[in-house]
Amino acid sequence: MVRRRTTFDPFEPTGAPRWYVVRSMHGPLIESREIPPEANLKRVFVGAMLEWMDAGWSLGEFSSGTATFFCNRHAERRMVSIVPTDPHDVPMSGAAHLASCPTCAD
């Protein structure tokens, strides 16, 4: 018997905050804002798509599985996402956050 993995829904209501994040296609953060807990994330996502279209951007690919869409205007391209982590936090890979600090006196 093959077990199916539970499908992750990035728009599921949650008590934790989420962030609206805009990045250039080279990765730098252009804009971010916190979305309050319990917000209707589907409404935020669709509203963001409409705002970008109203501002003259053409929508490209989008994924409701990752809460991300891409938009273009002339030679510019943006990636807009709803993410569960603050984009200003220092990124750590793997379990690096579980290791002790090598320069601190633990």
Asked if residue 95 has pLDDT above 70, the reply is no
pLDDT at residue 39 in the model = 95
Contact between 35 and 57 under an 8 Å Cβ cutoff? The reply is: no
Question: What pTM was computed for the model?
Answer: 0.77
Query: 28-39: per-residue pLDDT in tens?
Result: 999 999 999 999
pLDDT at residue 100 in the model = 57
CA–CA distances in Å: residue 11 to residues 37, 85, 97, 103:
12, 14, 27, 40
